[in-house]
Amino acid sequence: MKVSRPYITKVLHEDVNFSFRTAAKLANALKMDFFPALRPQEEGRNAPENSDAG
């Protein structure tokens, strides 16, 4: 993957945000498929702080 071992450790411990490209490279290195799934947000999570509604 041409990334450092500490970076891989951070990815595996969910201590870093990474791109879809990096996720695909990781899946390829592990001989796995990469297929991100989209799902509805949980209520109250990632809601905008300043909403014009209401």
Three-state secondary structure readout of the chain:
CCCCHHHHHHHHCCCCCCCHHHHHHHHHHCCCCCCCCCCCCCCCCCCCCCCCCC
pTM of the complete model: 0.53
pLDDT tens digits, 2-44? 888 898 888 888 888 888 888 888 899 889 998 888 899 887 7
The predicted structure's pLDDT at residue 40: 92
CA distance 42 to 23: 23
Q: Please compute Rg for the chain using Cα positions.
A: 16
| pLDDT computed for residue 32 by the predictor | 93
Total residue count of the chain as it appears in this document? 54
